């Protein structure tokens, strides 16, 4: 059975690209050199099971899954549809990238709230 770690992402704090990246950097502990764009987000999330990479203070053990619980995901989708879509696509790309390198998926989303 795969172990999971759930991290709550307060989507109500996301209103634009700056706040999107600020929230994820703060909650997950992305490094100071985090580029605040989706390529950098994908890079940080790809190595969430590699604490030695220094890409995220929040890590899981190899073979485990990090679940991002997006509180009020429906509100985020209505308020910031581009950011919501980027979150979905970025998460999928992280796992696609890892599978392409022979690694297990490491990231999942838990979307809470009414749609």
How many domains does the structure of the chain reveal? 1
Q: What is the mean pLDDT of residues 1-22?
A: 93
In angstroms, the CA 4 to CA 94 distance is 16
| Residue 88 lies in domain | 11-102
Does residue 62 contact residue 51 with C-beta atoms inside 8 Å?
no
HSE-up (13 A, CA, CB side) for residue 38 = 14
Q: Is there a domain that residue 113 lies in? A: no
Q: pLDDT confidence of 32, banded at 50, 70, 90?
A: very high
The alpha-helical segments, DSSP class H, found in 10-50 are 17-28, 38-46
CATH code of the domain containing 54: 3.30.370
For residue 30, report the phi and psi dihedrals to the nearest 5 degrees.
Answer: -65, 155
Q: Is there a domain that residue 111 lies in? A: no
Per-residue pLDDT, 10 = 96
In angstroms, the CA 44 to CA 76 distance is 22
**Model confidence at 11: pLDDT above 80:** yes
Q: Is there a domain that residue 57 lies in? A: yes
Q: pLDDT confidence of 113, banded at 50, 70, 90?
A: confident
Q: Look at residues 10, 1, 4 and name the one whose alpha carbon lies nearest to residue 28.
A: 10
Q: Is there a domain that residue 80 lies in? A: yes
3-state SS class at 109: strand
Q: pLDDT confidence of 114, banded at 50, 70, 90?
A: low
Percent of the residues in the chain that have a pLDDT greater than 70, as a whole number: 97
């Amino acid at each position: 059975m795969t172990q999971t770690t759930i991290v709550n992402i307060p989507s109500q704090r996301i209103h634009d690209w700056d706040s999107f990246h600020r929230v994820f950097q703060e909650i997950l502990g992305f490094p100071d050199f985090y580029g605040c764009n989706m390529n950098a987000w994908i890079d940080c999330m790809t190595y969430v099971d590699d604490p030695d990479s220094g890409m995220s203070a929040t890590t899981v053990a190899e073979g485990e899954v990090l679940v991002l619980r997006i509180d009020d995901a429906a509100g985020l989708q209505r308020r910031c549809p581009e950011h919501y879509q980027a979150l979905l696509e970025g998460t999928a790309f992280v796992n696609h990238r890892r599978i392409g390198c022979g690694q297990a998926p490491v990231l999942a989303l838990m979307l809470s709230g009414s749609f």
